[in-house]
Amino acid sequence: MSKDEVPGVGPYGGPAGGWGALQAVARALRQQMGVTREAKMLLKVNQPAGFDCPGCAWPDPRSTSSFEFCENGAKAVSWEATTKRTTPEFFAHHSVGELWKWTDFDLENEGRLTHPMRYDRDSDRYIPVSWEEAFSRIGANLRALPDPNMAEFYTSGRASNEAAFLFQLFARRFGTNNFPDCSNMCHEATSVGLPEAIGVGKGTVTLADFEHCDAIFCIGHNPGTNHPRMLATLREASLRGTKIVVLNPLHERGLVRFTSPQDPVEMMTGRSTPIASDYLQVKIGGDVAVLKGMMKTVLALDRESLATGGQGVLDRAFIAEHTSGLDDVVADVDATSWDDVEGTSGIARAEIERIGRLYAESKAVIVCYGMGITQHRRGTANVQQIVNLLLMRGNMGRDGAGICPLRGHSNVQGDRTVGITEIPSPELLDAIERVFGFPPPREHGHSAVAAIEAMRDGRAKALICLGGNLPVAMSDPEASFEAVRGLDLAVHIATKLNRSHLLVGKETFILPCLGRTELDMQESGAQSVTVEDSMSMVHASRGSLTPASELLKSEPAIIAGMAKAALDDTRLDWDGWIADYDRIRTLIEAVFPSFERFNERVREPGGFRLYIPASERRWATPGGRARFIAHQGVLADPRVERSDALILATIRSHDQYNTTIYSYNDRYRGITGRRDVLFVNEVDLAARGLKHGDLVDVETIEDVEGLCGKRRVERLTAVAYDIAPGSLAAYYPEANCLVSLSDVDPRSGTPSYKSIPVLLSLSRSEGAAVDDAHMWQRGDVPIDRTGAATAADAGKPAIDRTTPP
Ligand SMILES: Nc1nc2c(c(=O)[nH]1)N[C@H]1C(S)=C(S)[C@@H](COP(=O)(O)OP(=O)(O)OC[C@H]3O[C@@H](n4cnc5c(=O)[nH]c(N)nc54)[C@H](O)[C@@H]3O)O[C@H]1N2
Ligand SMILES: Nc1nc2c(c(=O)[nH]1)N[C@H]1C(S)=C(S)[C@@H](COP(=O)(O)OP(=O)(O)OC[C@H]3O[C@@H](n4cnc5c(=O)[nH]c(N)nc54)[C@H](O)[C@@H]3O)O[C@H]1N2
Ligand SMILES: [Mo]
């Protein structure tokens, strides 16, 4: 079968951005909002609307919260500001059992939740409940727990600083540090790896540094889709002549060429700007090999320079004054053979030497990275290898140089800053005690994986979710779904219905909240909340749209309502704090000294940057120095070695926001109207007697540590793709059933979503869906819900999933 004969699979030849992006924005707005006043307002690009885009955490050039044009930002905003509603009538018509069979797309596409709802077991339906009754039942259930550590308080990274701060206060006063959060599945390897190395778990660069660097390395992230506004930064850098080196197994469009929708000339002439100057299609898990190869090159150049009377290539003054541990890293890099580097990375030595030399010759370098680095068995070590490379040339804490982890959710970094952590420092707990007068629990709590395990084993019986879709985002849906179904109490503070809400326990509540875009009126007037972006800029966000329903409450108000019902501490003035969020910010400032003059500074245009000591070459490590940390071996994941196994990464399509599926398209990868595909290199297909378009089964192998028992996905359609040989990719969250709960980086607990060793074979299965836990992944009907041409429109047969092509 040739490429264009597989329904819904075709080539995409153009650049990222351009008219396609504008059309996608228009479509998203039309389908979710109609031609309303609000939609028109959002279309006015670059007009300050006052709210922080709920899309990604990439900073705004002016550090304001204006709605800067971006295709996926527009999707996120219109998805929230939709005119569709999920009402009590809807729930009366559809039982939970019936809704379970809906796809994730269909569930959220019903629109915004309008009423607080309670699950009624007799009718298997959600029925409306008053806020008062919901709070009092939640409070009673929490009080009934024999041990506060039997409750889990989950945070998804969209929550504001104010909501997150009140949430941690509520949980700690209740008596637990059980704070599973989305960060545990995301940048935890950064949060653990960077503090050990440079004394702070955040990136060190600001947007201005991108104007002063001469090389940018983009490792394991896909900005064209996940941080689209970053393309504007990369485009400007490229136009200035900055070298942009990409390490990624997939040839991602947004990293190749970009047509800026903001640039009339590019738009009218159809021209585009190249982004990557070098694109290395590393094998999944091969990054450490490349990084070590680069370090080998730097050391060789250094020795050569010294031997010929030069100054060397290492930044010796910086290393002597600021660092420790170089010798161990040099010994390890010297002991690493080029054979291993080439074999593991799949990249030729000459190529690695070329980018190694480029690195050595650049005066200022930034390394950006995402989930391609963190979501591996050795995610923490991967992060620290990047630091080693940067430290060698003093690329840290000076203009144009540093490390840039691309955060996920728009406030995931801020949530951590204001206390959402299962491993609180003694300083944080002391400060809470000083400010609020109660002794918070000292015992460490549960991360996301540990929380699921505790629920599965009956050690936790209540789950309060501040947003998100935890069991669906988590590995091993079988275990995660069962864990949540076994609860006595599940509470979901949410904007839209999702699958987590259908995992009903004894008492289950859906509490509908205001979104970022909406006006938040409290006693003292309209409120703003604050967020922190990927570069530690804190700024205000104020919604302006009329709320989706009169019954909605803000996240802080919902937390306060539950806290009042569950706690007996009259010193905590929940009502007073909700009346005026300035008071919450005053509390944040009292607990965290870095927020000094919070209310004043956040009112300055652009907000303020939190102090990042490493940005000024101050190292908050035990020894007061930045640390080179050696890790032996070249594998990002120890299992990559199995020669018969292919390594599968789970990735995001262009039309999804984590578990939120905006449509079944993935435009830049040429996929339309479906998600049940597996991206495979042609060579790997041929080696197994397979071809493009075949229905295939994917099965995990028992790994060296015996952690990853047999798991299968059946009947995916193989797509011959420009991906590194030996590497496979499939969509998250559907492919989560291939990851076992224990399959994590032991240092940070980050699930290894990006390296799953699997075997691939022609599908033997006859049936359609494997089982109900995963049925949604297939999209029962291959329609394109965005209105783009469907396979049928194009005169092609609809996909028949019952007979192999
Ligand atoms: N529109 C949109 N925006 C988002 C999100 C979204 O879902 N949709 N999610 C938000 C969140 S929470 C996050 S964390 C970020 C995620 O942003 P990204 O980090 O970009 O996330 P992924 O799509 O998971 O893919 C990462 C990239 O890693 C590559 N990759 C996979 N394995 C490897 C490897 O071993 N090595 C290397 N070098 N590369 C590898 C993949 O090919 C892919 O290009 O985006 C945030 N922004
Ligand atoms: N296999 C695999 N699994 C992964 C990943 C991967 O790359 N591969 N990535 C991981 C990563 S990086 C992350 S961050 C997690 C994401 O995990 P989560 O953060 O738990 O998931 P989301 O899909 O972002 O949550 C979506 C839901 O949030 C709710 N929501 C949206 N806006 C708001 C709001 O303003 N307030 C409230 N209260 N609720 C709101 C809606 O109800 C929506 O259904 O998934 C992880 N899981
Ligand atoms: Mo994330």
Q: Which ligand is nearest to the CA of 372?
A: 1
Determine phi and psi for 630, rounding to 5 degrees: -85, 140
Please give the average per-residue pLDDT across 427-454, as a whole number. 98
Q: Which of 52, 53, 56 to mutate to test the pocket of ligand 1 (most atoms within 8 A of CB)?
A: 56
CB of 752 shorter than 6 A to ligand 2: no
Query: Residues 272-322: pLDDT tens digits?
Result: 888 999 999 999 999 999 999 999 999 999 999 999 999 999 999 999 999
Beta carbon of 651 within 6 Å of any ligand 1 atom: yes
What tokens appear for 400 in the block?
């144009």
Query: pLDDT-based confidence at 643, cuts 50/70/90?
Result: low
Q: Which atom of ligand 2 is nearest to the CA of 469?
A: 20
Ligand at minimal distance from the CA of 370 is: 1
Nearest-CA residue for ligand 1 atom 39 is 220
What Rg, from alpha-carbon coordinates, does the chain have?
A: 25
Domain boundaries, the chain: 85-184+411-603, 188-405, 640-793
The residues pairing with 9 across neighbouring beta strands, listed in sequence order, are 671
Q: Which of 27-31, 217-221, 703-707 has the highest mean pLDDT?
A: 217-221
Q: Is the pLDDT of residue 259 over 80?
A: yes
Residue nearest atom 43 of ligand 2, based on CA coordinates: 468
Could you tell me the distance, in angstroms and rounded to a whole number, from the CA of residue 754 to the centre of ligand 1?
Answer: 9
Judge if the beta carbon of residue 717 lies within 6 A of ligand 1.
no
Q: For the residues 56-80, what does the mean pLDDT come to?
A: 73
Residues with CB under 5 A from ligand 3 (ion): 186, 408
Buried b (16+ CB within 10 A) or exposed e, 382-413: bbbbbbbbbbbbbbbbbebbbbbbbbbbbbbb
Residue of 191, 651, 755 to test ligand 1 pocket, by largest number of atoms within 8 Å of CB: 651
Inter-residue contact 487 to 501 (CB < 8 Å) = no
Write down the pTM of the prediction.
0.94
- The reply to whether ligand 1 has any atom less than 6 angstroms from the CB of 186 is yes
**Nearest partner of 402 among 354, 350, 439, 365, judged by Cα:** 365
- Ligand 2 contact, 515 CB (< 6 A): yes
Q: Is a pLDDT exceeding 50 seen at residue 64? A: no
Ligand 3 center from residue 129 Cα (angstroms): 33
Q: Which of 192, 257, 211, 368 is nearest to 744 (CA)?
A: 192
- Please tell me which of 57-61, 457-461, 543-547 the model is most confident about, judged by mean pLDDT: 457-461
pLDDT, residue 65, reads 42
Alpha helices in 639-717 (DSSP H): 682-687
Confidence of residue 640 (pLDDT cuts 50, 70, 90): low
Residue 652 CB–ligand 1 contact under 6 Å: yes
Q: Which ligand is nearest to the CA of 557?
A: 2
Ligand 1 closest atom vs CA 223: 20
CA dist 666 and 717 (Å) reads 15
Given a contact cutoff of 8 angstroms between Cβ atoms, the answer to whether 162 and 134 are in contact is no
Residue nearest to atom 1 of ligand 1 (CA): 226
3-state secondary structure 323-370: EECHHHHHHHHHHCCHHHHHHHHCCCHHHHHHHHHHHHHCCCEEEEEC
- 36 three-class SS: coil
Q: pLDDT of 14-50, one tens digit each?
A: 888 888 888 887 788 788 877 666 665 565 433 444 7
Ligand 2 atom closest to Cα of residue 465: 38
The pLDDT assigned to 764 comes to: 82
pLDDT digits (tens, 9 = 90+) for 724-770: 999 999 999 999 989 999 999 999 999 999 999 999 999 986 654 44
Cα–Cα distance measured from residue 742 to residue 732, given in angstroms and rounded to the nearest whole number: 18
Asked whether the domain spanning 640-793 has the same topology as the one spanning 188-405, the reply is no
* Interval between CA 493 and ligand 2 midpoint (Å): 13
Q: What is the pLDDT of residue 797?
A: 25
State mean pLDDT over 415-435: 97
CB 516 within 8 A of CB 488: no
| Integer Cα distance of 160 and 392 in angstroms | 37
User: Which pLDDT belongs to residue 514?
Assistant: 98
How far apart (Å, rounded) are the C-alpha atoms in residues 659 and 327?
A: 44
Fill in the DSSP letter of residue 225. Answer: H
Whether 470 is in the pocket of ligand 2, judged by its Cβ within 6 Å, is yes
Tens of pLDDT, residues 332-346: 999 999 999 999 999
Pocket test for ligand 2, best of 79, 86, 113, 185 (most atoms within 8 A of CB): 185
Q: How far is the CA of 691 from the centre of ligand 1 (A)?
A: 27
Say if residue 790's pLDDT is above 60. Answer: no
Percent of the chain with pLDDT over 90: 74
CB 788 within 8 A of CB 31: no
Q: Residue 788: its pLDDT value, please? A: 31
Is the pLDDT confidence value at 778 over 50? no
Distances 106 to 429, 780, 781 between C-alpha atoms, Å? 43, 11, 12
Query: Which DSSP string do the residues of 509-570 spell out, in sequence order?
Result: EEEEB--TTB--EETTEE--EEEE-TT-EEEEE---BPPS-TT-B-HHHHHHHHHHHH---T
pLDDT(524) > 90: yes
Q: How far apart are CA 122 and CA 636, in angstroms?
A: 50
pLDDT score of 671? 93
pLDDT given at position 267: 81
pLDDT exceeds 90 at position 779: no
Q: In whole angstroms, give the CA distance from residue 690 to residue 59.
A: 44
Say what the pLDDT of residue 39 is: 64
586: exposed, middle or buried (Cβ count in 10 Å: 0-12, 13-18, 19+):
middle
Structural domain 85-184+411-603, CATH architecture:
3-Layer(aba) Sandwich (3.40)
76-80, 148-152, 364-368, 587-591: the lowest-pLDDT one: 76-80
Instruction: State which ligand 2 atom lies nearest to the alpha carbon of 736.
Output: 1
Average pLDDT score over residue span 703-729: 85
The string of pLDDT tens digits covering residues 750-763 is: 999 999 999 999 99
pLDDT at 410: 86
Pair of tokens at residue 290: 């490349």
790 lines ligand 1 (CB under 6 A): no
Distance 632 CA to ligand 2 centre (A): 34
Cα of 674 from ligand 1 centre, angstroms: 19
Evaluate whether 199 touches 621 at the Cβ level (below 8 Å).
Answer: yes
Nearest ligand (C-alpha, residue 657):
1
Q: Which atom of ligand 1 is nearest to the CA of 637?
A: 35
Q: Residue 588: which residues within 8 A CB-CB, separation 6 or more?
A: 161, 162, 165, 418, 595, 598
**Token digits of residue 580:** 């005026």
Average pLDDT in the 500-512 region?
Answer: 97
Q: Are 259 and 17 in contact, with CB atoms under 8 Å apart?
A: yes
Task: Check pLDDT > 50 for residue 244.
Answer: yes
What's the pLDDT at 450? 97
CB 336 within 8 A of CB 292: yes
* Domain 640-793 part of CATH 1.10.569.10: no
CATH placement of domain 188-405? 3.40.228.10
117-176 pLDDT, tens per residue? Answer: 999 999 999 999 999 999 999 999 999 999 999 999 999 999 999 999 999 999 999 999
> What does the pLDDT read at residue 462?
98
CA of 658 to the centre of ligand 1 (A): 10
Name the H helices within 379-497.
379-392, 412-417, 426-436, 448-456, 470-473, 477-485
800 vs 765, residue with greater confidence: 765
pLDDT recorded at residue 45: 36
Distance CA 163, CA 561 (A): 12
List, for residues 171-214, the tens digit of each pLDDT value: 999 999 999 999 999 999 999 999 999 999 999 999 999 999 99
Pocket test for ligand 1, best of 25, 70, 248, 678 (most atoms within 8 A of CB): 248
Nearest atom in ligand 2 to the alpha carbon of residue 659 is 23
